[in-house]
Structures are given as structure tokens and as C-alpha cells.
Structure 1
Amino acid sequence: MATRFCTSCGAPIQPGKKFCARCGAPVADASPAPDATIAQATAPAGAPTSQAKQKLGTGTIVAIVAAVLLALALVLLVAWSASGNALPWQARDGQAREVAGEKSEAAKSKEDRKKAAEAKRKAEEAKAKAEEKAEEKAEEEAERKAEATAQAQRDAEKSATDAQFKAQILPYYNRLSDYDSRIASCATTFNTIYLSTDFNKRYAAAQECYALEQSIQSDATSFSSIQVPEGSSYATQHAAVMRCLNDLQSRIACISNAWTTDLVYEDPAPYKEEILRPIADGKDPNTGKVIALQDYQEVYPTIKF
């Protein structure tokens, strides 16, 4: 294998080496010296040729110059560093750290701005929700007040309507007790004289009964035409008064019908059973009591105003 020499200083390169052992230059461009091979072939063993000696001298000079330059560079670097200046690679590292720091600060600032924007957004959302809730509450309060006002108006109207309705039915209620007493008086008179041969007396009693029946019928007809307001507090009282008026009509009708049969005869005694049939028909067959009277006595006490 041919010997390779450094192209920088001319020193021989050991096989397999990539850098010059003398000057440290890379040996990529190093190439074998053909003349040296020829010289070695013709020269006596162990005797250096003139070209080799020349290259060796040149290489020595180059190596010395390189060493001086290297030493000078080291002195300059030391002096540069001693003066407080950063070395080139240190400057690069410092610049890199500065850039990294700037990037870190920029990233932190960006993150801070992002957090601030997010916090602002949440605050605005919370404010909007609070305002919306306040508006809803205000609307609900307004609706509640409006409903309360409307309800108060409805209550006032209902109260006025009920007062008017009560004023309509109260007179009829007040006459129930009087009608009941007068029917009882008519019944007593009937039982006393219905078999009498004194026609005039029986006739006078019958006319009194007819007049009472007409009054009760008139009240019942008039009362039934009264309209019950929807939801009225006096609807129950109205129904009870109507029921009592119907009971009074039934009771007086029994006596009135009995008088009508009675007045047919000058001497009613032989026709007693026929005369009393209307009254008997109005009685409960099990108890023997007048059905309408029993119902009246149950309902009337329940009517309260």
C-alpha cells in the first residue's frame, strides 16, 4: 500500500487515520505521493530522498505556523473572555437562551392573555346570566303583581256579585218561616172544621188556604228564575231555599186539594176518606208523617247567611 501524506504539513498519514497526527488537518484530501514511491524504489534502503526531505521541511514550517496561529487564537480568546466578553460559542448559547427566554415570556404572556380573555368571557357570561335572571325575576314579580291585581279585581267583582245575589235570595229565605207557620195554622183550621156543616165557615177557611198557596207558588216561580252566578258563595243557600219552597208548595197543595173536595158537599162527613185522600197521599206510608214537612224540617236549619 502506498504511503499517504498530509496535504497541509506533508507529514505521513498512518493507515486508517482520518486526521493528521501533526497538524490535525482532515485527511480526506490526502493522497499518496507517487514520486516518493518511485524514489523509495530506486534509493537505498533507509536513505531519504531529496523530495521527501523538501516536503518534510515544508511540513515542519507549516506545522510551526499552525501552532503559532493556534496559540495566538487561544491568547486572543482568553483575552476576549477576560475582558468580560462572551466567547463566540458562549454568545451563541446566550443568544439561544435569550431567544428561548423571550419565547418563554411570549408564551407566558400569550397564556396570560388567554386566561384573562377567558376570565373576562366568564365574567361577561355571569353578568349576562345575572341580568337575565334579574329580568326574569322582575317579569315574574310584575306578572305576580298583575295577577294579584286581577285576582283582587275578580274577588271584588265576585264579592259584589255575591252581595247582589244574596240580596236577591234573602227575602225569600226570610219568608220561609212565616209560610211554615201559616201552613201549620191552615192545617189546624182544616182539621177542626172540614167536617162542619157550616159551609160558609169552611169556605172562608178554604179561601185563606188558596190565598196562601198562591203566594207560595208565586215566590217559588219567581225564585226559580234567579240566575246563580258561577262560583257563588251562596249557591248552596239558593238550592236549599228552593227546596224549602217546594216543600211548602207540596204541604199547602195537600190541604188546598182537600178543601176543594170538601166544599163539594154540604155535609162532608160521609165523604171524609175522599176529602182526606190528598193529605194521605202526601204522607210516608211507613211513618205516617208528611214527607214534605219532614224534608223542610231537615233542610231549613242548615241555611246560613
Structure 2
Amino acid sequence: MKKPLFMMVDGMALLFRSFYATAVAGQFMINSKDIPTNGVYGFIKHFFTAVNKFHPTHVAVCWDMGSKTFRTELFEGYKANRSEPPVELLPQFDLAKEIVEAFNVPNIGLEGFEADDCIGTLAIQSCQDADVLILTGDQDILQLIDENISVALLKKGFGNYHVYTKELFFEEKGIYPQQMIDLKALMGDSSDNYPGVRGIGEKTALKLVQQFQNVEGIVSNLKNLSKAQRTKIEQDLEMMYLSRQLAEIKCDAPVSCSLNDALFQIDRQKVIEKFKELEFRGLHRYLEIEKEYA
């Protein structure tokens, strides 16, 4: 018997991508209530395009719930390099959640945790009973890939994905998905603003992880490293371990979403009414793909 397919959507990734794709040209789609809707409009297109491509039986959308998380408590500089969202995007966070609710799809988020942590937790909870597909544009989520967990990375445009399985990831990267955490511990992450080990870049980090498996293996083999590598790691040992903590997606966050709660059943009339309320045109055709679920 074919297992259910649970598609977990990184709501923040879809919304930000959709917003900036049109905001660069100043196309904010201001409606009659003076509310910008460009990000939400693109979010809907991305959502239904993925549904049409992958045909999930169950769906949930996960969100960040503010910039303060346990990671900012661990490291004050975490994501401190990021600017505040544009004012045109601010009202669209709630609008996107309203749209998801109109799809009869659960919105999942928890203060103090990132959307990634919610996705990781739900993926681990569900992967025995369902195949899990994570829809995102964030490569950090690749660390979650496992036997029953795959990741569809959004590429430019609509309907273009790089779908990673455990085998394909190893074939392409030369390491296993979970070793990404150790890779980030060494090389850091400039977009999330944590340094890793100063002076060690991706190439060296990858070589070390391939050779010694993980951070613990590297530390226990310091005598086998070059003098320059050993010195760098010894000087930044504490930051290396902290960077590993920051890089690792937490898969035991206090959230849950049963398969029953995530069963994908669209109420077409409810969605059409929401489209009318938001003054969206041209999206009705995307609902045609939902007839088998409605």
C-alpha cells in the first residue's frame, strides 16, 4: 500500500521569495484597502504549483514567530546582520496565514523556535507513517534528509525544483545530510551571521568532514591535521561547538501535527471567497488541480 505524502511547506521561504521577486520592480499589488499583496499572491502560486507537481495527501505550513529564538540567546550576533522586513511585507505575514487557513491547511509556528525547527520536529514525528517532502528555498533544511524525508529546493521561477533524496545528496555533496551540521560548525554561515572557525572555508571544511566524519572526529585527530588547521581549530574551539549548536535544526521542539490534522482537502468555495476578498484575479485556475481532493 502506498504511503501518504506529507508536504511540509517553509512558509517564510515561499513568502520572502515571492515578495522580493516582484518588489524589486516596485510591483507591490496594493489593493483597495491599501494593503500590499504581491508576496501572498506569489506564495499562492508557489503553493499550488507544488501541489500540482507532487500531489501530497497531507500538507502543513510552518512559520517563524519573531526574530528572538533560543539561538539568539545562545549567540547575540545570530542573524544580527539582517535588516528589518520592508514595510510592504509586514501586513503580508498575517495575510499569508489567513490564506493557508482558507486552504484548510494547518499553520504551525512556535515562539522561541524557527520554522526549520517546527519542520524538523514534524518530519521526525511523521516519517514512519508517511513519506515527507519539505518544500523550501533554504539549503539549511537539507540536513533533515533521510530515508523517508526528501527536500524540494525552489529554483528560479515557478515549478522548478531540485529534489534531494539521501542518495542524491551524497552523490552531489560527498557527505551525508546530517554532516552539513559539522560542515557549518567549521565554515560558519555568513547569512546567519555566525563565524565557525576563522580561516577555514567550505573547501577545507568539506575535506575535514569527509575524512573525520564529524566535529568530534576532527578534534580527536588534531595531531593529524596540518599545523595551520590545528592552530585555527584550537583557537576557535569554543566557537566551533557553538556554531554547531546554531546550525543544527532542533527536531524535538514542543509542536505536533497529526496526519489527520494535515489531511489535504480544499473547500473550493471558501478559497474563491478569500481570493475575492483579497482582490486576487487569475488564481482560480490553480484550483482546478484540486478537484481530486475537493
- Which TM bucket (shorter chain)? under 0.3
Higher relative contact order structure (alpha carbons within 8 Å, sequence separation ≥ 6): 2
Q: TM-score, normalized by length of structure 1? A: 0.19
- If each structure's strand is expressed as a fraction of its own residues, which one has the higher value? 2
Larger radius of gyration: 1
Richer in helix (by share): 1
